[in-house]
Structure 1
Amino acid sequence: MNHDRYDDALIADWLGKVRTIAVVGASPKPERASHGVARFLARHGYKVFAVNPGQAGRDIAGLPTYARLADVPEPIDMVDVFRAPEYLDSVVTEALALSPRPGLIWGQLGVRDDAAAARAEAGGIAVIMDRCPAIEIPRLRLSPVG
């Protein structure tokens, strides 16, 4: 897939069909974007899990927090990545090891690695990069899920 541009319909379709989201790199600090986006997604009706090895077992933005994707106790529809681009490949590796696999890996603003995306897509996982669902949801006027 070409990751230079995404059709609004593609983004709206994905955000309309996912229900569970793992936010990788979620921060316990309220001033961090990953904290605010996790909270926004939960308030928008998604079931959100924070993933941060240093915060596992604690609460981030009112959400349960796990060390790894494999620790999340239910299937994940979307992995929202708040890590530097060089870590996207390792997140893809974790996602590919899940059963069932998530349908989508979403790289936040500035998170792009085309080789990692190609690997995910070869494994049946769609990828959107360098976008933020907390921006796209209001921009596309999407209703809360549920």
Structure 2
Amino acid sequence: MHVNPDDQKIAELLRESKNIAVFGLSDDPSKASNQVAQYLQSQGYEIVPINPKATSILGRKAHPTLLDVEGPIDIVDVFRRSEQIPEVVDQVLQMQHKPKAVWIQLGIVNDEQCRRIEEAGIMAIQDSCLKVEHYRLLGKEKL
């Protein structure tokens, strides 16, 4: 069973990261992915929307896949169902510049895919909300 990194490692990741790809970012402001991305933007992160049906979300160019993103991504924040996680991990493992972490949202658990991520030397976090954890660990800090 996968165990997420401790608070110290997560806080360090969040402090050292600048670019967050939000896989499954919705352009609907009522959706959790959009609310999380807005919060992350407000905290100084550069958001990279991954959504094949959109051209722009939150003022940023949307990309159909992770492989279409130019430049480095520090964290891939995943808003997909558990059965869709292997497709996301496949893309992560094909990225030219590997991210520091793959963050799978609250309520989604896929131990096998977390193992694949970690075997590639990438931090894996699952069943956790990036917004909640950022606020809890760094809420008073600005990047």
TM-score tier after normalising by the smaller chain length: over 0.9
**Offset at 1:15?**
0.9
- TM-score w.r.t. the length of structure 1 is 0.91
After the TM superposition, which residues 1-146 of structure 1 pair with which residues of structure 2 at under 5 Å, given as runs? Answer: 2-3=2-3, 6-55=5-54, 58-142=55-139, 143-145=141-143
* SS of equivalent residue, structure 1 residue 74: coil
Counterpart Cα distance in 2 of 1:144 and 1:132: 19
Are 1:30 and 1:61, in contact at CA under 8 Å, matched by a contact in 2? no
**Offset at 1:105?**
0.2
Report runs of 4+ in structure 1 exceeding 6 Å deviation: none
**Equivalent residue letter for 1:35:** N
**Equivalent residue letter for 1:29:** D
Counterpart Cα distance in 1 of 2:92 and 2:2: 21
**Equivalent residue letter for 1:108:** Q
- Cα deviations across residues 3-30 of structure 1 (Å, max 9, x unaligned)? 2x54211221111111111000000100
Note the aligned Cα RMSD (angstroms). Answer: 1.4
Counterpart Cα distance in 1 of 2:142 and 2:109: 27
Are 2:11 and 2:138, in contact at CA under 8 Å, matched by a contact in 1? no
Counterpart Cα distance in 1 of 2:138 and 2:117: 28
- Cα deviations across residues 71-122 of structure 1 (Å, max 9, x unaligned)? 1121111100000011111111100101111110000111220000101111
The size of the alignment, in residue pairs, is: 142
Are 1:88 and 1:111, in contact at CA under 8 Å, matched by a contact in 2? no
**Equivalent residue letter for 1:96:** L
**Offset at 1:129?**
0.6
Matched-pair identity in %: 38
**Equivalent residue letter for 1:51:** I
Are 1:81 and 1:107, in contact at CA under 8 Å, matched by a contact in 2? yes
- TM-score w.r.t. the length of structure 2 is 0.93
Counterpart Cα distance in 2 of 1:71 and 1:103: 18
**Offset at 1:141?**
3.1
Counterpart Cα distance in 1 of 2:100 and 2:5: 17
Counterpart Cα distance in 2 of 1:116 and 1:141: 27
Counterpart Cα distance in 1 of 2:31 and 2:72: 26
- Structure 2, unpaired ranges of 5+: none
